[in-house]
Chains A and B, each alone.
Chain A
Amino acid sequence: MSDAPLVFTPRPADPPPPSTIGVVGWMRANLFSSVPNAILTFLGAYIFYVVVYAIIDWALIKAVWEAENRRQCLDMVGRSGACWPGVAAWIPNLIYGLYPKDQVWRINTGFLILIAWAVPLWLPRVKSKVAIGLSLVLLYPLLVSYFFHGGAQTLVWTALIALGGAAFLWVWLTTLAEMRFGLGFGALVARLAGAADDERARRIGWGALAALYVLALLIVSQLSFVEVQTRLWGGLFLTLVISGIGIAFSLPAGVLLALGRRSQMPLIRVFCVTFIELFRSVPLITILFMFNTMLPLFLPQGVEVNRLLRAIVAVCLFASAYMAEIVRGGLQAIPKGQYEAAAAMGLGFWQSTSLIILPQALRIMIPSIVGNFIGLFKDTTLVSIIGLFDLLSMSRAVGEDTRWLGLFIEPFFFITLIYFVFCFLMSQYSLNLERRLGEGQRR
């Protein structure tokens, strides 16, 4: 007998056929799996080539980058290439409208504050994200209203601006306190003051907030900016203001309307249903027209409402009706057991709604809410029809400038890119958020 034990050694597997792996395999599987598919691939590649080449050729290769006016562009390339100097010359107006050049820093500061306010929402160790997010939606507009509009402060307005300012200070103090010590701002002050019990700690916390408010009041009352009337607002700035206020207003209003629609009280239900259905069934442009022509009639004599405010009121009401339906969808998706469990725990209506139901419903609703925001952002273009100078109106004004007479397509192309970048980023962010929040739900 041979001394080597008989061991079964399988023949090594053949390598996969070269036509199923690598680039070739991928192309065979995804592009040329059958004859019709191959034809479709060639057709698609041809369409892609034609469209993309036409755009690149027009926008980059044949484009004119330096010229004094449109005549020079036309002399150089005719209509076959884009005339970018016109757009470049108008970029400040496309962004800021007719806002005075020397005051533009106020807009920039306002948006820097926005970014600074929102940064803590992405910092990992910050716990009060809900409070910071709410303050951003509700109180940031108060602070920034003075930066954008300016002029003489009235007593009430100063108080409101200071509220925004105090909230901003609180956001950063809390953020720093939570990142460094793991305690909120109020709690940290109470700890430093050596509060004996919870009741005292709470009182000291509120005291610290009040001190913050007084501080903000002192700072804010020292500010004095030149008034910039709203008819000078325009461009991307105006678009962001209208959609921002629309978003900030529609979220809480939509939640209230949706709760009203699901309420047990018939009268409240009827009011909410009527409001929602009325505003959802007519086009936004009719609402804008209605407020534009009828708001002066609705208000007592002598009360002047400027065009911007009329548009904002219309956009807010319109957006909240849509938001209400989204929230209703989210509320309906919460199983009944959650309501019953909350009631069994002895929670009242507002407690169970705000602590149990809404946090779960909002998570489900995030994609639709962001979708609604994107829709709102796009819909702000309609204010150009009632004579406000939003981004779209400003882009049309380029072609009416005597130097760039007839230059329409290039500004349209440019602002299309702006709208696309904003909306696309929002939708991608929502997808990302949905994926992250859904992690716990996945099985």
Chain B
Amino acid sequence: MSQITAPPTTVLRRPVTAPMRLGAFVNDATVRSVFYQAVTFVCVVGLIWYLVSNTITNMAQRGMSAGFDFLDVSAGFNIAFTLIPYREGDSYLRVFQVGIANTLLVAVIGVIFASILGLVVGLARLSTNWLIRTLARWYIEILRNTPLLLQIIAWYFGVFNLLPLPRASIDLGGIMYLNNRGAYFPSPVPEDGFGLVLLALLAAVVGAVLLHIWARRRLRDTGRAFPSGLAGAALIILLPLLVFQASGAPLAWDWPVLRGFNFRGGFSVPPAFCALIVALSIYTSCFIAEIVRAGIQSVGHGQTEAARALGVKPSRTMRFIILPQAMRVIIPPLISQYLNLTKNSSLAIAIGFPDLVSVWMNTSLNQSGRAIPIVAMTMGFYCAVSLGVSFVLNLYNRRILLRER
């Protein structure tokens, strides 16, 4: 069209820009994409600007401040259970660290118990024994279909709070004591020379890894297998034990002893901690059990039959044929369950265990009134954990993907 409207004297040195009709705009994918993005950008930025300006006005009105300068101020409240040393009067920054340490402690212990329990229940779910299979199924159905918060509260108020007084503690093999003030364990007290034992442990771990690498190389080159797992485990257990005995057992135990109304000494955790760990582990174990079951079932039956046809023993079939393939299906959802457990540990606030959300987002926020930095720091911590773990998971996924042919 443009050629017709252009005056005949002008030679087309450069393309004459056609007079844009509205239709051309609407039908051009690039233009449309830029337009949509611009609209979205304006909307989102406008919304953020609106919220921020409101917040600034409101905060100025109420005399609130958004700075991080309060972190050095003494918090002035006590925390019932701390993994790392904390005194009343320490700074808010220390409170934040205490909260993170407590959250991570719950997460790590919960993950360990949940994995063990989940593996057992998941295998029970696949058992050839009808009774075991059915029990496992109903264990999963019942616990998975009730809210976690309800379970935590029920364990706390229904079990751990109703335990007997310290005087009548439940004695678990003379090692652990349970009462309504918490669980008491002996705590190890390292003496001179214990460093040597730790060094031996480190050396044993390194040795076991090297042994494993050597065994794999030999298996690849010569086809002769070497029980490197067993040998490595023996090395890791025996070498430190040997050094421990040789250096004169440089480790004392601080035993909890009943004095007056309560136990003294040893290491103790409050009932809320026990309730939290039990509830989190049991709840998460249901999901892990289903993941384990799905993973094992995802390996085709032909694999098992082929292994049998080749004369591979059932135990070795499981270890060398089924598990390596099942792991590929199991690991990603398993990790996401671990993250869920970490996030769910924030429910501790309902039973008063001082985790990050409880001491930081609740107590510290109410005391200092610094809503914005505190919310940002809490969310920042959880984001960092989640994104860090997903980053590692993505690396792992890429590795197992590369092996596929």
Interface residues of A, Cβ cutoff 8 Å to B: 30-31, 33, 37, 40-41, 44-45, 47-48, 264-268, 271, 277-278, 280-286, 289-290, 293-294, 296-301, 374, 378-379, 381-382, 384-385, 392, 396, 408-409, 412, 415-416, 419-420, 423-424, 427
Quick check: A419 and B150 within 8 Å, CB to CB?
A: yes
The contact sample of 13 A-B pairs, CB cut-off 8 A, is A30-B130, A44-B129, A44-B132, A281-B339, A281-B383, A281-B385, A286-B378, A298-B51, A301-B58, A381-B147, A408-B158, A427-B141, A427-B145
A420 to B286, CA, bound (A): 15
Q: Which residues of B contact A283 (CB under 8 A)?
A: 343-344, 346-347, 357, 382
> Known interface pairs A281-B386, A423-B146. Does A289 touch B128 (Cβ–Cβ under 8 Å)?
no
Select from chain B the residue with minimum beta-carbon distance to A423: B145
Quick check: B51 and A424 within 8 Å, CB to CB?
A: no
- New A-B pairs, 12, CB < 8 Å, besides A33-B129, A381-B147, A392-B147: A44-B135, A48-B135, A266-B37, A267-B40, A282-B379, A286-B346, A286-B382, A379-B147, A384-B350, A408-B158, A419-B147, A424-B145
Select from chain B the residue with minimum beta-carbon distance to A377: B147
Partner of B157, one of A384, A408, A424: A408
Which parts of B43-72 form the interface with A (CB within 8 Å)? 44, 51, 54-55, 57-59, 61
A44 to B120, CA, bound (A): 14
Quote the shortest CB–CB distance from A426 to chain B (angstroms). Answer: 9
Q: Is there a chain A Cβ closer than 8 Å to B79's Cβ?
A: no
Quick check: A378 and B55 within 8 Å, CB to CB?
A: no
A299 to B386, CA, bound (A): 30
Which parts of B112-129 form the interface with A (CB within 8 Å)? 127-129
Q: Which residues of B contact A420 (CB under 8 A)?
A: 142, 145-146
Quick check: B365 and A412 within 8 Å, CB to CB?
A: no
> Known interface pairs A268-B37, A392-B153. Does A44 touch B131 (Cβ–Cβ under 8 Å)?
yes
Quick check: B147 and A378 within 8 Å, CB to CB?
A: yes
Partner of A286, one of B41, B148, B361: B361
Quick check: A290 and B146 within 8 Å, CB to CB?
A: no
A296 to B387, CA, bound (A): 29
Quick check: A297 and B361 within 8 Å, CB to CB?
A: no
Interface residues of B, Cβ cutoff 8 Å to A: 33, 36-37, 40-41, 44, 51, 54-55, 57-59, 61, 127-132, 135, 141-142, 144-150, 153-154, 157-158, 339, 343-344, 346-347, 349-350, 357, 361-362, 365, 371-372, 375, 378-379, 382-383, 385-387
Q: Which residues of B contact A408 (CB under 8 A)?
A: 157-158
Select from chain A the residue with minimum beta-carbon distance to B52: A298
> Known interface pairs A382-B149, A416-B146, A427-B145. Does A301 touch B57 (Cβ–Cβ under 8 Å)?
yes
Quick check: A294 and B372 within 8 Å, CB to CB?
A: yes
Q: Which residues of B contact A427 (CB under 8 A)?
A: 141, 145
Partner of A419, one of B55, B145, B357: B145
Quote the shortest CB–CB distance from B306 to chain A (angstroms). Answer: 23
Quick check: B349 and A285 within 8 Å, CB to CB?
A: yes
Quote the shortest CB–CB distance from B27 to chain A (angstroms). Answer: 10
Q: Which residues of B contact A392 (CB under 8 A)?
A: 147, 149-150, 153
Quote the shortest CB–CB distance from B378 to chain A (angstroms). Answer: 6
Classify the secondary structure of B's interface with A: helix
> Known interface pairs A31-B130, A268-B40, A286-B375. Does A415 touch B150 (Cβ–Cβ under 8 Å)?
yes
Q: Which residues of B contact A301 (CB under 8 A)?
A: 57-58, 61
Quick check: B357 and A285 within 8 Å, CB to CB?
A: yes
Partner of B158, one of A264, A297, A409: A409
Q: Which residues of B contact A396 (CB under 8 A)?
A: 153
Select from chain B the residue with minimum beta-carbon distance to A277: B387
Quick check: B350 and A293 within 8 Å, CB to CB?
A: no
Q: Which residues of A contact B130 (CB under 8 A)?
A: 30-31
Partner of B55, one of A267, A268, A297: A297
Quick check: B131 and A41 within 8 Å, CB to CB?
A: yes
Quote the shortest CB–CB distance from B150 to chain A (angstroms). Answer: 6
A280 to B340, CA, bound (A): 10
A392 to B154, CA, bound (A): 11
A415 to B150, CA, bound (A): 9
Quick check: A40 and B127 within 8 Å, CB to CB?
A: yes
Quick check: B149 and A30 within 8 Å, CB to CB?
A: no
Partner of B357, one of A37, A286, A374: A286
Partner of A281, one of B36, B157, B387: B387
Quote the shortest CB–CB distance from B400 to chain A (angstroms). Answer: 18
Q: Which residues of A contact B36 (CB under 8 A)?
A: 265, 268
Select from chain B the residue with minimum beta-carbon distance to A41: B131
Quote the shortest CB–CB distance from B279 to chain A (angstroms). Answer: 13
Quick check: B128 and A30 within 8 Å, CB to CB?
A: yes
Partner of B371, one of A44, A267, A294: A294
A30 to B128, CA, bound (A): 6
Q: Which residues of B contact A381 (CB under 8 A)?
A: 147-150
Q: Which residues of A contact B357 (CB under 8 A)?
A: 283, 285-286, 289
Q: Which residues of A contact B372 (CB under 8 A)?
A: 294
Quote the shortest CB–CB distance from B199 to chain A (angstroms). Answer: 38
Q: Which residues of B contact A265 (CB under 8 A)?
A: 33, 36-37
Quick check: A267 and B154 within 8 Å, CB to CB?
A: no
Quote the shortest CB–CB distance from A299 to chain B (angstroms). Answer: 6
Q: Which residues of B contact A290 (CB under 8 A)?
A: 375, 379
Quick check: A30 and B129 within 8 Å, CB to CB?
A: yes
A256 to B57, CA, bound (A): 33
Q: Which residues of B contact A271 (CB under 8 A)?
A: 40, 44
Most buried by B among A44, A271, A301, A420: A44
Quick check: B362 and A289 within 8 Å, CB to CB?
A: yes
> Known interface pairs A44-B129, A282-B383, A408-B158. Does A300 touch B145 (Cβ–Cβ under 8 Å)?
no
Quick check: A267 and B37 within 8 Å, CB to CB?
A: yes
A379 to B283, CA, bound (A): 13
A419 to B154, CA, bound (A): 14
A301 to B57, CA, bound (A): 9
A65 to B145, CA, bound (A): 28
Select from chain B the residue with minimum beta-carbon distance to A427: B145
A396 to B57, CA, bound (A): 39
Quote the shortest CB–CB distance from B323 to chain A (angstroms). Answer: 21
Select from chain B the residue with minimum beta-carbon distance to A278: B383
A40 to B150, CA, bound (A): 31
Partner of A382, one of B57, B128, B347, B379: B347
Quick check: B375 and A293 within 8 Å, CB to CB?
A: yes
Q: Which residues of A contact B129 (CB under 8 A)?
A: 30-31, 33, 37, 40-41, 44
A415 to B158, CA, bound (A): 14
A396 to B347, CA, bound (A): 16
Q: Which residues of B contact A282 (CB under 8 A)?
A: 343, 378-379, 382-383, 386
A268 to B346, CA, bound (A): 32
A416 to B151, CA, bound (A): 9
Quote the shortest CB–CB distance from B221 to chain A (angstroms). Answer: 39
A278 to B382, CA, bound (A): 9
Quote the shortest CB–CB distance from B387 to chain A (angstroms). Answer: 6
Partner of A293, one of B147, B149, B339, B365: B365
A282 to B346, CA, bound (A): 10
Select from chain A the residue with minimum beta-carbon distance to B371: A293
